[in-house]
Structure 1
Amino acid sequence: MILKKYKIFDKTIILRYPRSSDAQDLMNLINSLVKEGADIAKSKPVTIQEEKLWLKDTITSIKNKEKIIILAEMDSVCVGSCEVTKDTYDVSRHVGTLGIGIIKQARGIGIGTTLIKTTLDEAKKKLGLELVKLYVFDSNNIGRSIYVELGFKEIGRIPKGVYHNKKYKDDIIMAKTL
């Protein structure tokens, strides 16, 4: 299902829900981020089998109103994804956790910002969320500044909370009321 279609320069951008046929594109996306050493929670490439299983489980989670995931396509190529997963504890079912990944070639032109806004709107509408949190490495200055622009506030920090690219980094926790 297409949520938004627009142009940036001469490129057509489509924001949509995933399909089971997206496994290869999503594997390429995550593996390009891993290869780049991007500030994400994955550090090892995924196989097509792992991605197919993850996608199948994700589509089930979307149907069960446990998760929202929106893909960004630029000229028919998947360049990003953003997801919000609803907390599983009874006492925090009003809270979700956000994650996003954008390939290097698609950064800096507003796709990520639009993708996050669209995903948050869907999470509020379809999952009934009231609060969204995220985790960002202290080395991800660009990501943190975008989150602040979107209304997220730093609410905590775990010193040396991640070991990424052979370095300890603080894991910053940010949150936003929807």
Structure 2
Amino acid sequence: MKIIIKEYENKDLKEMMDIWNNIVDEGIAFPNDKSLNLESASEFFSSQTYTGVAIDNSEVVGLYILHPNNVGRCGHIANSSYAVKQGQRGKSIGKKLVKHSLEIAKQKGFRLLQFNAVVASNEVALHLYKKLGFKQLGIIPGGFLSKDNEYLDIIPHYIEL
């Protein structure tokens, strides 16, 4: 498996949309509760500071979005979300996406990367972020409403770039 991470192209949109929507439909990680269609996916992914895709043998196997976490005097803090295709998880694709996003965030002039809502039950992500040097900012009790209408804790994280 030779993963290449690069900026997305319009030809990648359908696969990106499918990966994104799968995670939204799972209802256990992303705050989004509505699926994308091709038009809204194009608008959403193109509006980011950077949207990267992980490609393996011409197949999109993962993606990330990078954008400011806030505006104005807090605009130097980035935020990012990651998605790995079902059936491709556990192959270190997420780790490669996170590392790539850290490089791009720095290139784009961000000074920190912050995750606002890492769901406490997402043990794989929590382990990865710790391993990569992210710092936890505490716990927000019941900050995430799962698809099953259960309120789960979220754990914000950050890393200095």
Task: Say which one has the larger Rg.
Answer: 1
Percentage identity across paired residues of the two chains: 26
1:132 corresponds in structure 2 to 113
SS at match of 2:61: strand
Q: CA deviation at 1:21?
A: 2.5
2:90 corresponds in structure 1 to 108
Asked if the contact 1:69/1:119 (under 8 Å) is kept, the reply is: no
1:61 corresponds in structure 2 to none
Gaps of 5+ in 2: none
- CA RMSD after TM alignment: 1.7
Q: Deviations over 1:14-68 (max 9, x none)?
A: 111011232211111112223444422223322222112223333xxxxxxxx22
Matched, 1:91 2:73: yes
Match of 1:168 among 128, 151, 158: 151
**Paired AA for residue 172 in structure 1:** I
Gaps of 5+ in 1: 1-10, 59-66
SS at match of 2:91: coil
Q: Residues 138 and 87 from structure 1, CA distance in 2 versus in 1: closer, same or farther, beyond 3 angstroms?
A: closer
- CA distance, structure 1, for counterparts of residue 81 and residue 17 of structure 2: 16
From the two aligned structures, give the one with the greater strand fraction.
1
1:24 corresponds in structure 2 to 14
Q: CA deviation at 1:74?
A: 1.9
Asked if the contact 2:64/2:97 (under 8 Å) is kept, the reply is: yes
Q: Residues 129 and 79 from structure 1, CA distance in 2 versus in 1: closer, same or farther, beyond 3 angstroms?
A: same
Asked if the contact 1:155/1:173 (under 8 Å) is kept, the reply is: yes
Asked if the contact 1:16/1:71 (under 8 Å) is kept, the reply is: yes
Number of positions where the alignment pairs a residue of Structure 1 with one of Structure 2 = 159
Matched, 1:45 2:35: yes
Q: CA deviation at 1:88?
A: 4.1
1:177 corresponds in structure 2 to 160
SS at match of 2:138: strand
Q: CA deviation at 1:104?
A: 2.3
- CA distance, structure 1, for counterparts of residue 26 and residue 85 of structure 2: 9
1:62 corresponds in structure 2 to none
Larger RCO (CA under 8 A, 6+ residues apart): 2
SS at match of 1:73: strand
TM-score (norm 1): 0.81
1:12 corresponds in structure 2 to 2
**Paired AA for residue 168 in structure 1:** Y
